[in-house]
Amino acid sequence: MTAGAGELRSYGRRRGRALSARQAGLWRDVLPRVVVAGTAAELANPHHLFPPGIREVWLEIGFGGGEHLIWQAEHHPSAGLLGCEPFQDGVVKVLAAMDERPSVNIRLYADDARRLVRQLPAASIGRVFVLFPDPWPKRRHWKRRLLSEGTLAELARIMPSGGELRIATDIADYAAWILLAVRRQGSFRWAAQAAGDWRERGSDWPQTRYEAKALRAGRRCSYFRFLRT
């Protein structure tokens, strides 16, 4: 599955190097056990994607190497983590971790998250994470940025009142873009009370390898928390 008709891709390449024999085995043997097809029928009740005991479902869009996704799953066993990532290398990293430390509360969608979000029922996702999405820094590519008013409206639809949207970026103009888009869209309230609330990660927000790379390069990161009104 790809983006909808006429919809620009919000991510770059889908594959890096060819998979090793072990990675190909994970893709063949482990992925089918945890993959989500993304159909409306399958997603009619996202809780049914997971074993009994899951109290709410969380969504991570573009989980990269999977560090954050796996950490949240391990620290919140009563939450079902639905991870979306179109880049094959990232999916394989999570599959390798799941093969070593089986996790019953992770499900994966290996494609464009927007297609899946459109199939999710209203008010079905308690928390959404969008951490360090592709900033598309050139002005002519800004139309490809994932965090548009349209995407925010779809996220608002699938989240209940009080649901939490977490966004991180290391690009200053994208941070400003995000705040402006949130304000214009109007369904989320910025939870920050002081500058430290968006300049520092909270204790329930683990570092990703992309963030570590950004900090080593001297870039300041922004950590936004928005609440569905």
Which residues have a catalytic role annotated?
A: 134
Q: Helical H runs in 8-160?
A: 21-29, 31-34, 67-75, 88-100, 113-119, 149-158
Q: Strands of the chain (E only): list them.
A: 56-61, 79-84, 106-109, 127-131, 164-169, 188-190, 222-228
CA pair distance 83, 110, nearest whole angstrom: 8
Q: 3-state DSSP: the chain helix, strand, coil percent, rounded to 5?
A: 40, 15, 45
Q: Which of 9, 174, 165, 166 is nearest to 86 (CA)?
A: 9
Distance set, CA 98 to CA 85, 111, 123 (Å): 15, 19, 28
CA pair distance 64, 66, nearest whole angstrom: 5
CA pair distance 2, 57, nearest whole angstrom: 23
